[in-house]
Structure 1
């Protein structure tokens, strides 16, 4: 990438969020966005599918996981993995989630820089909600393990909406739950389907290249991509928001 294209990219990153001023809310996905949970999902699916002889007993690889499972709702996963026995697929995904929750208690880790971002959001008094395709039991457990139960003002679950992601319904419901406007809200997401949902809901999405390939994420038109919450690209934009009074402090909002 040339110096000019890098400069243009940086300018685009800033304008995507500065147009939201004054920013009033931030929406987060959970899996892969708050925490690096995809390896735990992958492990659980791989082990359990191998146990039942899926794919002739050959373990699924990460490419299969990304293409068919990551970021998708369990209803869609059940249909994809068990096209001839949907009910069996639903039972399998329920059992897999129970296994995943046991792994979470032992191994869950936050995305690097999450605590720094949480402090920034809290200091500026921004509204916030978690919007996820994960089952509520999973989402609440992960949020609790990360110490964010009090941070989020609402948790929106795809299965409790008219449609799950990649439909925009969960993000629109998230806005409604916290009383925020899409004209002043941005989103953090890590999956192609999640980015698609946020963009369709009319908000800029900052994509995290936690596990999914960048070329797949970019196809869904995020505002820009970051590696994690320590990424200098993110903080350059947030600092610009501060300089331009693009966020309101608690004192300003009072």
Structure 2
């Protein structure tokens, strides 16, 4: 069946929030565990929800740590967020050619809106499923199936694009095709080791895969 629906992760896939997220983690963790965490130490925290990450470190302080993280993250957002190569033009092309486009993210809606507005990508997406909209985050299939339902699409005609194994596994669990992005902050080898159906070197590589002109 021909692919007519493309679902994207947001952070590290459509927009370069890597520095923002890493700095937000370091700011928060150094607040509670001074000088214990370096940049490389927080890379495993990219992907899971904040509650999963901070809950695994300190269940009693989890809510408080999430608040500290989000406050810093919002304050620094427009300073540290940048765009990835070919993303805007690729998404624009897909939108103009009538593909159904959605975002499936583990972020809360307010932060998602900030990122989409800053990069002017907000005009292209019909559906955005955030952490606020689901009971189970990726890699559970619920967020993807919810997006597909809202778009009127079946898994067989969709592809999930992301930079993290949570994205690839969620796509597989939901029955979609999957594409990993080689610009994952965790590295090309990391994302390819989770065996997505396709590996993108830049976002425009998705165009021939889905038959866009």
Pairing 1:34–2:14 present: yes
Call closer, same or farther: CA 1:235–1:156 in 2, change over 3 Å: closer
1:112 Cα offset (Å) = 0.8
Out of 80, 95, 100, the position equivalent to 1:127 is 100
Find the counterpart in structure 2 of residue 161 from structure 1.
134
CA RMSD of aligned residues (A): 1.9
CA distance in 2, matches of 1:104, 1:228: 24
4+ runs deviating over 3 angstroms: 233-238
What pairs with 1:1-254 in structure 2 (closer than 5 Å)?
A: 20-21=1-2, 23-52=3-32, 54=33, 57-67=34-44, 69-83=45-59, 85=60, 88-210=61-183, 211-230=185-204, 233-238=205-210, 241-242=211-212
TM-score normalised according to structure 2 size: 0.91
In 1, Cα distance between equivalents of 2:8 and 2:54: 25
Which residue number in structure 2 is paired with residue 251 of structure 1?
A: none
Cα deviation for residue 74 of structure 1 reads 1.7
How big is each residue's C-alpha offset from its partner over 1:78-113, in whole Å with a ceiling of 9 and x where there is no partner? Answer: 212214x1xx21221122112112222223212110
User: Which has the greater radius of gyration?
Assistant: 1
Distance 1:215 1:27 in 2: 22
1:197 offset after TM fit, Å? 0.9
The offset of 1:242, in angstroms, is 4.7
Q: Is the 8 A contact 1:110 1:146 kept in 2?
A: yes
Q: d(CA) in 1 for partners of 2:17 and 2:103?
A: 15
Aligned length: 212
Equivalent pair of 1:26/1:128 in contact (CA under 8 Å): yes
C-alpha displacement of 1:234: 4.0
Mapped contact 2:16–2:83 kept (Cα < 8 A): yes
Give the stretch that moved more between structures: 26-35 or 142-151. Answer: 142-151
Counterpart residue number, 1:8: none
Gaps of 5+ in 1: 1-19, 244-254
